[in-house]
Structure 1
Amino acid sequence: MHVVVNAAMSADGKLSTRERTQLAISGEPDFERVDRLRAESDAVAVGVGTVLADDPSLTVKSSSLRANRVDAGRAVNPARIVADSRARTPADAIVLDDAAETYVLVSEAAPVERRSALAERGATLVTAGEERVDLLRAFATLQDEGLEAVMVEGGGELIFSLFDTGLVDELSVFVGPQIVGGREAPTLADGEGFVEAFPTLSLSDVEQVGDGVVLTWTVDR
């Protein structure tokens, strides 16, 4: 499995404001780049916090890119993955519509009634871990389902956890020309944070996009 983390952040490393409201960091050229990444992926993953805050569809926007997937014998849209230890994904969330298959990763601690509600909406539940999702086990199950190229779009808690478990292969970030500030504003990798054995990266590409820049790194092994 190849896991690519993709994100847009401000020049000071913030994903959104301290109020966790959506922020227009990048523009149309970067949106098109992200859409191409989605179209090339087998699945797009987010944490439940992103679902609760933004209610994203995680689908390919370009009709031509969707058509290319179909011509290649693939589903119209990549599958969707939600890391959701307690099954907090709302039953009416857009990611549970019929635009694509959706996997919800839950722990044993997720209430049975919430799991049942998600299953009734058509989600495929992957249970791994007692209190929190065991990402290594869950992603192994996803790989068994045929998902080899996974794009991760946030948020910071999931991204940190994926780096912490050694699952990330590549990091692609659009850095926008604004300062957001705020010690409570989410960053690219939140979670507990590293105090030793920091993941290291090798810069593989730099591309200026408008007044911002797309930086791509591979993760050192």
Structure 2
Amino acid sequence: MTRPHVLLSVAVSLDGYIDDRSDERFPLSNAEDFDHVDRLRAESGAILVGAQTVRRDNPRLLVNSAERRAARVAAGRPEYPLKVTVTHSGALSPDLRFWHHGGEKLVYTTDAGGCLVSEKLAGLADVVSLGASIDFATLLDDLGHRGVDRLMVEGGGRTHTAFLAAGLADEIRVAVAPMLIGQATAPRFVLPAEFPGGPARRFHLADVAALGDVAVLRYFPKRSGAT
């Protein structure tokens, strides 16, 4: 069994925020970047977001391009990637758009959360309990058993932090938007944590690209950036 390749994808402001404090999602990306993200989704076996992102943003999390969806089907893949979320508490409403668009859905949760979410999402998603707590390595093992070759993780901060702190991210795609948010309590890409190698560890920078006014950086954390 092989774990999926894990790509963390995030858009940040120049000062490192992924959103502002308003109730509506703050648009950091531009049309070119959104299209590139759509292509990466189409190349993925599964897309994962944390439960807080599902509740806050109420995303559909789809491959929007009909041409890309058709190419997936022609290649023998489902029209849409598997949509995955992670919740400790199981507090997810069945009315959220996440459950009512696209293909199959999967929820990873705890034993306690599973009791709640299994009943609420009956017929909408498969629910898998990972025990008393959520172990992201076990989650990847399960996705590998399901045949998922590439996992695209789109947030939020807690979820990205969990993958990075556990040393499970193979690739990081950071789209840097030319703006400043400047709100101390606005959400960031990662939260404080103990990361493998600490602050002295440098990631390998594989690529820098301009998509309109957005700079896209591509890092491989498991390779050393030192020369």
* TM-score normalised per structure 1: 0.93
* Equivalent-residue separation in structure 1 for 2:81 and 2:195 (angstroms): 35
Describe the shift of the 1:126–1:211 C-alpha distance in structure 2 as closer, same or farther (beyond 3 A).
same
Kept in 1: contact 2:9–2:154 (CA 8 A): yes
Matched residue count? 218
Letter in 2 for 1:189: V
> Which of 15, 18, 22 is matched with 2:25 structurally?
22
Q: What do you get for the CA RMSD once the two structures are aligned? A: 1.6
* Equivalent-residue separation in structure 2 for 1:113 and 1:218 (angstroms): 37
* Equivalent-residue separation in structure 1 for 2:25 and 2:86 (angstroms): 20
**1:175 paired to 2:176:** yes
**What residue is the counterpart of 2:151 in the other structure?**
150
**What residue is the counterpart of 1:54 in the other structure?**
57
**What residue is the counterpart of 2:214 in the other structure?**
212
Q: CA deviation at 1:67?
A: 0.6
**Counterparts of 1:23-172 in structure 2 under 5 Å?**
23-97=26-100, 99-110=102-113, 112-118=115-121, 120-130=122-132, 132-172=133-173
Kept in 2: contact 1:204–1:216 (CA 8 A): yes
Q: CA deviation at 1:111?
A: 5.6
* Equivalent-residue separation in structure 2 for 1:134 and 1:125 (angstroms): 15
Kept in 1: contact 2:114–2:129 (CA 8 A): no
**Percent identity between the aligned chains?**
33
CA deviation string 1:166-194 (max 9, x = no partner): 1100000110000001221111112x423
Q: CA deviation at 1:152?
A: 0.5
Q: Which runs of 5+ in 2 are unaligned?
A: none
Describe the shift of the 1:112–1:13 C-alpha distance in structure 2 as closer, same or farther (beyond 3 A).
same
Letter in 2 for 1:193: A
Q: CA deviation at 1:26?
A: 1.1
Describe the shift of the 1:101–1:196 C-alpha distance in structure 2 as closer, same or farther (beyond 3 A).
closer
* Equivalent-residue separation in structure 1 for 2:206 and 2:114 (angstroms): 43
- Equivalent residue of 2:56, what SS? helix
Kept in 1: contact 2:86–2:107 (CA 8 A): yes
Q: CA deviation at 1:89?
A: 1.7
CA deviation string 1:136-171 (max 9, x = no partner): 112211110111200000000000001111110000
**What residue is the counterpart of 1:188 in the other structure?**
189
- Equivalent residue of 1:139, what SS? helix
Q: Which runs of 5+ in 1 are unaligned?
A: none
Q: CA deviation at 1:62?
A: 0.4
* Equivalent-residue separation in structure 1 for 2:85 and 2:185 (angstroms): 23
- Equivalent residue of 1:95, what SS? helix
CA deviation string 1:6-34 (max 9, x = no partner): 11110111000134641111111001000
